Structure 1
Amino acid sequence: MPLPPAARASPLNLSNTRLYFSVSLPCASVSTSLGHSLVRPSPQRFKMLTWRDRPAQFVYDSPLMRGSATNPGSGGERVVRARSSAAVFCVGVAFALCGCKWFSGDAEPEATRDPITGLTPAEDREVLAKVGEKTITLGDYARTVARMDEFERLRYQTPERQAELLDELINTELLAQEAERRGLDKSPEYQAKLFLALRDERLEELRASLPPLESFSDAEVGAYYEAHKSEFEEPERRRPLVIVTGGRAQAETVLRRAKGASGSEWGKLAKEFSLDRRGLVSDEASELAGDLGFVSAPGVERGENPEVPEPVRTAVFQLQALGDVAPEVVEANGRFYVVRLGGTSPARLRSRQEADRTIRVELRRRLFREKEKALLEELRKKYPATVDRAALERALERASDPAAPSTKQP
């Protein structure tokens, strides 16, 4: 039966490494955490929360959250560990929204609990809201939470924010019902979106079945590195500093003063004249004023930088030493640039260790493509696909020349 009115569920409290959910009762105090928590029961305080007539603690158990209904009478201490903040969060919301339940007798079998939310079928069906003839259950709510990433779940720690999320689900259901009433779910546009969503869902299911990055052996990573070393060659890059003006005459004036200027003098010129305020601080002149970031040489795709106009990119690679200034004003995008060489990064080959994660991600991507190809081949055998080439050609003809008469045969 539900807890008495005196019981209260505390707000969920998430941090970078732990998520806590606690229930405060006149007779009990229980807590669980993602890292670990110690529960020290007292027979007097736990006398109403029992399992086989002895002081007990009940913790949701699923492949994501590992715990159990246990008898901690011996020693009075039990360490509870959890595997997923999503599962702990969903269970916490279950307590917060529906209230804690008293437990007695045997705990429900593990097999009855949802592997994602940790809820039993009965808990999953618990109705949180009714919208028209449809209901929003605790299971619906918990699955919505489970689909969030860990950072998004941080937004829903308090009872107020949890209630807001439920209100969002109600609004979504209201709009969906209205769309159905208006027949929008029958429109070709909706059907096309649904078709794509189903495709993406199946591919996401396939992606979720892939092994973790750590499962690829060092030998596999090393073999890829040796076979694709050119992919890890970083080209020479240079760092252009610019003073940007709206007119050529002003840029020419700045250019004369910038030639041979020290770093601090360059910063003062930029502070006085430049339309580009990057690298400028209100109370000082930076020698890196107008820093556009590193860029590779013109024509080298790897190391491109969209912040650097192509004429500026060309000009900076004509300079020889740090602090050199381009001899001419550079015009680009309707503005005028005075260009200074602010830094260089020589060409180099990334080491095997530096490329380790990049390689593992690529190996996993390739494995996904292989599995996707195998899945499509299997589906083509199961559901043969045929193409009417003549109809396709007629359609292509009409697409290329809409005014042409139809050649469709009677």
Structure 2
Amino acid sequence: MNKWLIVILMLGSGWVGWYLATHWPESEQQDVTADVLAVVGDSVITRDDFIRQMSHRGGNRPGQYHELKQKKFLLDFMINQQVMFDDAVAKGFHEDESVQKIYRKATVDKYLEEELNKKLQALVVTDREIKQHFNNNKTVYEKPARKRAAIIAKIIPADVTAEEKQQIKDELEAIRNQVNELDGKTKHFGELALTHSDDRSSRYQGGVIGWFVENPKRSYKWDRTVIEALFSLPEPGDVSPVLETDEGLFLVRLVAAEQVEEKTLTQVSSGIRQQLLKTKQDAMKKQFITQLIEGADININQQMLADIDPLNPAEKADDIKPPALPVDNGGTP
């Protein structure tokens, strides 16, 4: 080959190399700048990122992160996390179903925080609303009148004769007269219950069976005749006549009585405020979800839903549990 041609080719290749070196697009790798604290592959750790991590890891406590050694330790941790994250993404771990589930939950939580919770926090309950609620529901905030009862019970067998029943009645009448001989401070039946009552649960407590509220909607263990007799007694220490029920014969004594106790608006205003605020928040949450659903394009394959087989066998007839028993306030235990 002609030596001049070789020289020309060498000069040409040198010029091409210089051109490419000066004009070829630079790498996408980030540079450390005033805002970028560290570069990890294609990712960056900014000054603000680092400050946020300091705050999360006790940076507000006196003496923390004043030494360069502490800062380097934290930065090393952040770099290690970023390297592992980048490698995990490169290997597709971010597409794992369990990871996506966590991601979706975190996304929804953040969405609710930004879109709903701020609206909930803006809700207020005014003093006027509290006062109006109190005036409309005064009876709710009253402690009802109640009475404490003691009994002497005589269980009557089904095959008892009229003569035998009368003898038991006469015995109770005699016991009733003996009540006056008890210590004046004793408002229950005292030793008389222990000696004469057939009710084992109360005989050792002077016949005391507890407190009762006069309310036709309340049900008690004892016959309604016993409860009505209790509330007919005006003063503690008073004793009823002999009472006859389907369960047997009874004497009832009024042990103590408490009158209706009214509460003031000041006493209950804090609780009312919380109650009304929760009502408003629940209404806003419901409206928020309703608007989202109404604005979404949703189409359900109802037949497919019906055809999906359950994952367990059907309950047998004797496996079906009865509904929970109601409690006094209408709820469930």
User: Shorter-chain TM-score category?
Assistant: 0.3 to 0.5
TM-score, scaled to structure 2? 0.38
Specify the structure having the higher radius of gyration (Cα): 2
Bigger helix share? 2
Q: TM-score under structure 1 normalisation?
A: 0.32
